[in-house]
Amino acid sequence: MGVVTSRRAAPDRSPDQAWRRAAPVSFWLDDPRAPAPMPALDRPLRTGLAVVGGGFSGLWTALLAKEADPALDVVVLEAERVAWAATGRNGGFCEATLTHGEANGRNRFPDEYDRLARLGQENLEAIDAFVRERGVECGWERTGALSVATADWQVDELRGTGALPDDWLEPGALRAELDSPTYLAGRWDREGCAIVNPARLAWGLRDACLDAGVRIFERTAALGLERSGRLVAVTTTGGKVLADRVALGTNAFPSLLRRVRPRVIPVYDHVLVTEPLTTEQLARIGWSHRQGVSDAGNQFHYYRLTSDDRILWGGYDAIYHYGRKVSSVYDQRPATFARLSEHFYQTFPQLADVGFTHRWGGAIDTCSRFCAFFGTALGGRVAYAAGFTGVGVGATRFAAQVVLDLLTGVRSERSELRMVRSKPLPFPPEPLGWAVIELTRASIASADAHGGRRNAWLRLLDRVGLGFDS
């Protein structure tokens, strides 16, 4: 979040002790309604389309491929469990944006941003239709999203994002929606965001895939791929899979294609979830329209209500670990949880008697342009999407369509986009990569602490098209 401006007394409940009492597990995945495990692959296999990854990217790709061609044999290979990674660990915001926000989109794709915005909204409507037509019980709510300023410089930043008069909220109107002493102004995007239980959405996609005839193998890690005549051979822990085409949806995990790896780094994000608020506790802050919320600093929090009126509170720190490693060791980070807890009680001092029940972390795949990129390999028989940078709950469906266009050679409005045809710059190798990322993180924190002023390093990144502002 931005610099917290409230100077009220510390809450009765110690922020440090509050997070320590939380269970170290994703709230979304800690669900008695989680589906039973699927079998692991235990033999060689031949298929038309092999999809690597059982998160949103892979599930949407498998389902859309099967809907387009019901006769096509489709196999999903998941190293752990469906929805186990980023799909089941995010904040549960399903946004229309395909470009990590309007400012980033207009800066990087000025000639086609309006088209990308339309395609993104159409994509969100298609997900809405899927949830409603399938009757997926995933806490889907079209609440829209609030962006809130917590420092003076952020007010001007928000005013410059193209807010319509009906979207803009002065302090009184904003605090009537959601009451925090830190709020100075805000913007309410009423159409471009839904909140959702992401694990249950993924499980709904899993069920739809199975109903359509997709074969899903869990506990089956893909270890490598190579050309095998006119086919692609995917080496897995359960046997070799021969496929006509392969779609890769591994995102933050190291790609099976070496050419992709320098363009993606895993950044760890962490989340707290409170105990359910009572009617009286919820009345202290309002929130009758249940919008998703994010604050407007470069380091920012995102937060929302769950179906049983808990507050999910995440973001702020974005932690990079040397060597681009993805490991469960990084899921729990006491320093970040303590900071999240402190900021929660500063934002909502009215909720000093509310504690936390869940805490977790997970890796986000980011790239130097902060939105997805695409490509093919092995003569067009393999396609991939990666680099979603935290907006993958919605954008993965659009990406699945792009991947299928690339695999089938279809020329479409999507496949002709410059966003699809271009690539982000790669990150430098270690140790230079680590040094650059840490310098950038420190510079972003400094900008938030000094009225949004960007130092010489950030201005240089802006000039070469690598500026990061969220």
Give domain status of residue 162, yes or no. Answer: yes
C-alpha 374/C-alpha 105 separation (Å) is 16
Among 361, 378, 397, the domain boundary falls at 361
| Helix, strand, coil percent values for the chain (each to nearest 5) | 35, 25, 45
Query: For position 280, what pLDDT does the model report?
Result: 98
Query: For position 467, what pLDDT does the model report?
Result: 60
Residues 349 and 440 in one domain: no
Query: How many domains does one find in the chain?
Result: 3
Among 309, 336, 361, the domain boundary falls at 361
Residues 226 and 253 in one domain: yes
Domain with residue 310: its CATH number is 3.30.9.10
Question: Quick one: how many helices (H) and strands (E) in the chain?
Answer: 13, 19
Q: Tens of pLDDT along 110-169?
A: 999 999 999 999 999 999 999 999 999 999 999 999 999 999 999 988 887 655 667 999
C-alpha 153/C-alpha 296 separation (Å) is 10
Residues 274 and 356 in one domain: yes
Burial of 160 (0-12, 13-18, 19+ CB in 10 A): exposed
Give domain status of residue 232, yes or no. Answer: yes
Residues 206 and 60 in one domain: yes
Nearest CA to 59 among 267, 204, 259, 255? 204
The predicted model scores a pTM of: 0.94
Residues 249 and 156 in one domain: no
Give domain status of residue 139, yes or no. Answer: no
Residues 416 and 440 in one domain: no
Which two three-digit tokens encode residue 126? Answer: 């298609």
Residues 305 and 450 in one domain: no
Give me the residues of the chain with pLDDT under 50, please: 1-12, 469-470
Give domain status of residue 405, yes or no. Answer: yes
Residues 457 and 355 in one domain: no
Query: For position 14, what pLDDT does the model report?
Result: 66
C-alpha 384/C-alpha 200 separation (Å) is 24
Query: For position 470, what pLDDT does the model report?
Result: 44
User: 391: domain range?
Assistant: 45-117+198-264+369-421
Give domain status of residue 123, yes or no. Answer: no
Domain with residue 214: its CATH number is 3.50.50.60
Give domain status of residue 135, yes or no. Answer: no
Give domain status of residue 124, yes or no. Answer: no
Residues 374 and 353 in one domain: no
Residues 287 and 177 in one domain: yes
Burial 222-251 (b: 16+ CB within 10 A, else e): beebeeeeebbbbebebebbebbbbbbbbb
Query: For position 6, what pLDDT does the model report?
Result: 33
Residues 223 and 83 in one domain: yes
Residues 328 and 227 in one domain: no
Could you tell me if 121 and 194 are in contact, meaning their C-beta atoms sit under 8 angstroms apart? no
Query: For position 298, what pLDDT does the model report?
Result: 85
Give domain status of residue 132, yes or no. Answer: no
β-strand partners of 401: none
